[in-house]
C-alpha cells in the first residue's frame, strides 16, 4: 500500500516513514503541501496521507482541501499529525476532509491504532511504549537563539518549541550576551527582544548587521504603539521580520499555540531561503519550474493593488515613496500586520511619500493619487456606491490564515474596476494573493511580482510567478519605476470610475 508523509521536519518524516514501513506501507515523502501535490502527480494514488499542519509554502489544511477537491483521491485516507491541539483546529481539519487526527508527541502504538481505525490491517503489529521523540542529529537542527531579558518569556518560548524535533534553542538575557553567543555558537536565526538592559535590541541589531549581514533576525515585539514604532525602526535597520508576543489569550495553551505557529513559520521560512540554507536536506530539491511571463494587456489602469507580508514594510518603504505625486490612480495595499502596526506603517510611509498614505477605514472615499493601507485585523474591500468608490472593512473569515487578506481586496477590485488593474505582489510568506491574481489575470489585468533574489521570503510572489500569472518578475528597486511607466503607458484617463 502506498502512503505519503507530508511534514517540514525531516526527522519527523523519517520517523513516520519508518513506522509506516513496519506496518506494510510503501512510503513517499514531501516537506510541504506544494511539494506534496507534485509528489501526488508522480506516485501511485496513496491509500494513506499523514499531513502536518504548519508548513511553509502550503500548510496542511490547504493541502487537505486541494486533495479533497480532486475526485481521483476520494478513496485516500488522510490523517493530520500535528501539535495543533485546539478543538476548533481539529474541527477545521475534519470539516475539510481529514479522516483522523493524531497529536504530537505520540507513541508508535497510538499511530498504529489510528491506522487500524482508518480500516487498514497492518502487516506488522509491533508494539512499543516509548513516546515518539525522534533523535535528530545535531547537524540537522535549526539553531535558534532567543534574546530576551524576561525569564518568563524564555520559558514560554522553550515550551512552545520543545515539541519541534528539528529546532535547537539557546537563550541570552541581553544584546551583549547575544553577540557573544552568536560568535561562539553560530545560530541559524536570532529572535530578538527590543527592550533589554545592558544592550537593547536595536543596538544589538546594529552590531549583528555589521558583522553577520546574512543572519536572519526576527524582532520579538509587544502589541503596543511603542512596540509597533520600534519594530518598524528595526525592520528599516535590517531586521528580517517580526513576531508579536502573545497577549489576550484565554489560556496558556492558546498562547503557546499561537506562539509556536508564529515562531516555526518564521524559522522555517527564513532559514531555508536561498543563500541562508543552514542545514542539509533529505534529498535534492526538485528542478525549479520554468518561469514565464504573460504579455501585458493594453487596457488602461484605474487602480494599483499591492500585497506583501514578511519583509513587506521595508519593500513598501522602497516602492511607495518613489511613486510620483501626480499619480492619476489610487493605490490599495494589504500588508499582513496586526492592528496598531498598520497605523504606524501608514504614518511612516506618509512621512516619506509625496502621496497621502492612510490606514483604511470603513466608508472612506477612494480617489486618485491616494494610498490606502488595509487595517490590521480587518479585511479591506472596495465597493462602488453611486458615482464613488468606497472602502469597506470587516472582520470576515480569515483567508490563507490571514486577515487582512490580499485575495479579498483583489476580488473586490475586479468587481469595481474590471481588468483595469495593476496588481503588485511583493515579498511575503504563504500564498495569499495567488487566487486574487488569478481573478485579476482572468479579467485582463496586469501583474508584477518581486523576484526571488530581493525578497526576504519568496512565498507570495513566488507562487504568482510559478503560476505564470506575472507580466514581469522584477527586483525590488525596479518596481516603483515599472508601476509608474505602466500607468503612463495606459490609454487616456477618460472613462475612469474614480471621483476627482
For residue 268, indicate whether it is catalytic: no
Phi, psi of 17 (to 5 degrees): -60, -40
- Residue-by-residue DSSP string for 80-114: EEES---HHHHHHHHHHT--EEEESS-BHHHHHHH
User: From the candidates 7, 336, 348, 455, which is the catalytic residue?
Assistant: 336
C-alpha cell read off for 91 = 474541527
432 has catalytic annotation = yes
β 48-51/2-6 pair status: parallel
Backbone angles phi, psi at 466, to 5 degrees: -70, -25
Catalytic residue among 309, 348, 353, 412: 309
> CA quadruple 38, 43, 46, 51: dihedral positive or negative?
negative
**278 Cβ partners below 8 Å, 6+ apart?**
142, 143, 188, 271
Give the span between the Cα atoms of 398 and 406, in whole angstroms: 11
**Residue 219: which of 307, 138, 311, 293 has the closest Cα?**
311
User: What gap in Å lies between CA 112 and CA 107, rounded to an integer?
Assistant: 9
**Rounded-to-integer distance, Cα 37 and Cα 342, Å:** 35
Whole-Å CA distances, 187 to 150, 173, 241, 266: 20, 16, 16, 15
| CA distances to 19, 89, 294 from 42, in Å | 23, 30, 28
Between strands 100-103 and 77-82, the pairing is parallel
3-state secondary structure of 4: strand
Any idea how long the chain is?
500
Q: Of 8, 149, 432, 451, which residue is the catalytic one? A: 432
CA 437 from centre of chain: 17
b/e for 473-484, b at 16 or more Cβ within 10 A? bbebeebbebbe
d(CA 303, CA 464): 19
How far are the Cα atoms of 67, 110, 433 from residue 27, in angstroms, in the given order? 18, 19, 33
For residues 460 and 437, what is the distance between their CA atoms, to the nearest angstrom? 11
51 bridge partner residues: 6, 80
The residues carrying an active-site annotation are 309, 336, 432
Amino acid at each position: 500500500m502506498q502512503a505519503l508523509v507530508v511534514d517540514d521536519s525531516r526527522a519527523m518524516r523519517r520517523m513516520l516513514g519508518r513506522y509506516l514501513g513496519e506496518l506494510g506501507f510503501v512510503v513517499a515523502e514531501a516537506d510541504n503541501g506544494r511539494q506534496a501535490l507534485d509528489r501526488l502527480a508522480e506516485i501511485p494514488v496513496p491509500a494513506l496521507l499523514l499531513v502536518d499542519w504548519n508548513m511553509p509554502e502550503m500548510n496542511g489544511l490547504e493541502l487537505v482541501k486541494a486533495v479533497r477537491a480532486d475526485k481521483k483521491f476520494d478513496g485516500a485516507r488522510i490523517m493530520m499529525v500535528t501539535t495543533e491541539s485546539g478543538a476548533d483546529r481539529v474541527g477545521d481539519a475534519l470539516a475539510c476532509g481529514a479522516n483522523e487526527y493524531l497529536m504530537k508527541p505520540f507513541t508508535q502504538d497510538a499511530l498504529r491504532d489510528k491506522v487500524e481505525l482508518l480500516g487498514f490491517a497492518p502487516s506488522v503489529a509491533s508494539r512499543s511504549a516509548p513516546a515518539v521523540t525522534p533523535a535528530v542529529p545535531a547537524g540537522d537542527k535549526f539553531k535558534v537563539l532567543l534574546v530576551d531579558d524576561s525569564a518568563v518569556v524564555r520559558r514560554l518560548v522553550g515550551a512552545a518549541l520543545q515539541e519541534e524535533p528539528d529546532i535547537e534553542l539557546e537563550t541570552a538575557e541581553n544584546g551583549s550576551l547575544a553577540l557573544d553567543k552568536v560568535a561562539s555558537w553560530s545560530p541559524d536565526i536570532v529572535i530578538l527582544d527590543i527592550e533589554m538592559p545592558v544592550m537593547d535590541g536595536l543596538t544589538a541589531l546594529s552590531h549583528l548587521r555589521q558583522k553577520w549581514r546574512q543572519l536572519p533576525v526576527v524582532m520579538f515585539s509587544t502589541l503596543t504603539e511603542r512596540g509597533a514604532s520600534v519594530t518598524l525602526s528595526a525592520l528599516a535597520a535590517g531586521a528580517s521580520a517580526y513576531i508579536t508576543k502573545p497577549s489576550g489569550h484565554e489560556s496558556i495553551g492558546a498562547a503557546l499555540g499561537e506562539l509556536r505557529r508564529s515562531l516555526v513559520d518564521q524559522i522555517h521560512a527564513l532559514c531555508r531561503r536561498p543563500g541562508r540554507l543552514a542545514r542539509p536536506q533529505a534529498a535534492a530539491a526538485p528542478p525549479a519550474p520554468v518561469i514565464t511571463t504573460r504579455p501585458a494587456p493594453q487596457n488602461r489602469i484605474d487602480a494599483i493593488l499591492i500585497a506583501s507580508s514578511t519583509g513587506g514594510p521595508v519593500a513598501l518603504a522602497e516602492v511607495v515613496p518613489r511613486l510620483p505625486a501626480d499619480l492619476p490612480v489610487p493605490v490599495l495595499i494589504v500588508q499582513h500586520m496586526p492592528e496598531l502596526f498598520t497605523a504606524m506603517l501608514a504614518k511612516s510611509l506618509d512621512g516619506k511619500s509625496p502621496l497621502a498614505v492612510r490606514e483604511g477605514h470603513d466608508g472612506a472615499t477612494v480617489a486618485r493619487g491616494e494610498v490606502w493601507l488595509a487595517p490590521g485585523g480587518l479585511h479591506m474591500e472596495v465597493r462602488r456606491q453611486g458615482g464613488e468608490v468606497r472602502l469597506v472593512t470587516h472582520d470576515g473569515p480569515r483567508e490563507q490564515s490571514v486577515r487582512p487578506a490580499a485575495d479579498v481586496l483583489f476580488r473586490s477590485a475586479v468587481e469595481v474596476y474590471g481588468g483595469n488593474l495593476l496588481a503588485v505582489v511583493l515579498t511575503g510568506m504563504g500564498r495569499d494573493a495567488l487566487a486574487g491574481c488569478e481573478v485579476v489575470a482572468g479579467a485582463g489585468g496586469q501583474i508584477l511580482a518581486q523576484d526571488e533574489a530581493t525578497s526576504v521570503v519568496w512565498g507570495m510572489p513566488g507562487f504568482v510567478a510559478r503560476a505564470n500569472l506575472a507580466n514581469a518578475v522584477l527586483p525590488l528597486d525596479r518596481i516603483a519605476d515599472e508601476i509608474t511607466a505602466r500607468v503612463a503607458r495606459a490609454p487616456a484617463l477618460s472613462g475612469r470610475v474614480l471621483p476627482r
